[in-house]
Amino acid sequence: MIVCIPSRGLTVDSQMDDRFGRAPYFAFFDTDTDSVRVEPNPHAGGSGGVGPMAVQFLVKNNVQILIAPRLGGNADEALKAASIRVIMQNPDVTVQTAYNTWKANPENAS
């Protein structure tokens, strides 16, 4: 299963980004191997509608779970339609910590 976390930087020690559609990077964790790949968000600098665009980027990367702090209405609608589950997480942590926190207790996360 692929878990996505918006990130401010290219490594998992970077802080989580508090935005979704305009986050500069996305970290993609593979839960089977705990391996991770960080990719630039191609829509971060878009003029508008970046929420749904980012969702489509997640769909292309086979994401099933998104760990994010907050979402816009359009992104929310697209995520629901794409059946991507959203886990709310305070962004005051690194990407790795956010992943570890979720992994330690995946069912209890809201």
Helix, strand and coil content of the chain, in percent to the nearest 5, comes to: 25, 30, 45
**Which position among 27, 50, 67, 71 is part of the footprint of another protein (CB under 8 A)?**
50
Taking the least distance from each CB to another protein, the nearer of 80 and 103 is 80
Q: How far apart are CA 2 and CA 47, in angstroms?
A: 28
Residues between 14 and 33 with contacts to another protein, criterion CB under 8 A: none
d(CA 16, CA 26): 9
Piece of the chain touching another protein by CB under 8 A; list 5-13, 22-30, 76-84, 99-107 = 76-84
Q: Does 77 bind another protein (CB under 8 A)?
A: yes
